[in-house]
Structures are given as C-alpha cells and as structure tokens.
Amino acid sequence: MQSLPVDGIIIVSSPQMLATMVVMKCINMVRQLKGIIVGVVENMAYFQTPEGERYEIFGPSNGTELVNMTGAPLLAQLPIDPALTTLCDAGRVEEYHAEAYDLLAENFINTLKIKR
C-alpha cells in the first residue's frame, strides 16, 4: 500500500476464527495506512447440497462482525463448491458459473459507483 497506488481494499475472510483474527490485524493495518475498505467477502461460508440444505462446515459466519468492524458492506458469502475445484484442477475455471459470484460482481460494481 505504501509503494503502489491503491484506491481501495476488499477484505476476504472465511468463517474460521483464526482467519478472522488474521483479517482483523489486516483491517487495523489498512486503517493505520489510511486505506479505504471497499467491502468484505466471506469465502467458504457454507456448503449447499443439491437438495438445498446449507451447512456451515467451518463454523458460523463472521461476516457480520467484519462488516460492523469495517463499516464496509458484505459483498458476498461464497459457498464451498466442488464443481469450482474440479474446473480449477482441470485448467477450465472460465467455465464456472454460480449465482453467488454474480452477486459478488454486482455488489462490487455498485459499491464502486457509491465510492466514486
């Protein structure tokens, strides 16, 4: 942040408490450097079965806590998706599509419109 121009930062975390603690340190560093936190993304937030059941494999969400801490919007809670892993491993990630990522893109673009 000190040697490259940065207009904003997106905080990416996961529900594990250790990850949240590391992210909190990053948030404090961004604040000390007078950075702008554009939004929060919670990765691996849940696993959804084909029947629609949701399981919080890594524990309950910490997204709300991070939103409260940063004052930035929650851009998305991304699921664990074995299809993404399969396509990444096959070198075909560009074939992946999921609504959660559409929502992330939409929220990110809308946040940028507000910040400008």
DSSP 28-93: HHHHHTT--EEEEEEEEEEEE-TTS-EE-TT-S--HHHHHHHH---EEEEEEE-HHHHHHHHTT-G
Q: Would strands 54-55 and 74-80 be described as parallel, antiparallel, or unpaired?
A: unpaired
Domain range for residue 25?
A: 9-115
Domain of 45: which CATH number?
Answer: 3.40.50.300
1 in a domain, yes or no?
Answer: no
Predicted confidence at residue 93, as pLDDT, reads 95
45 in a domain, yes or no?
Answer: yes
Number of domains the chain contains: 1
27 in a domain, yes or no?
Answer: yes
pLDDT in tens, 24-57: 999 999 999 899 999 999 999 999 999 999 999 9
Give the mean model confidence (pLDDT) for residues 103-115: 87
Task: Please tell me the least confidently modeled range out of 5-9, 30-34, 104-108.
Answer: 5-9
Of 31-35, 58-62, 103-107, the range with the highest mean pLDDT is 103-107
Band of pLDDT at residue 69, cut at 50, 70 and 90: confident
| 42 exposure class (CB count in 10 Å sphere: 0-12, 13-18, 19+) | buried
Whether 15 and 61 have beta carbons less than 8 Å apart is answered as yes
Angle between helices 63-70 and 17-32 (to 10 degrees): 10
pTM of the model as a whole: 0.86
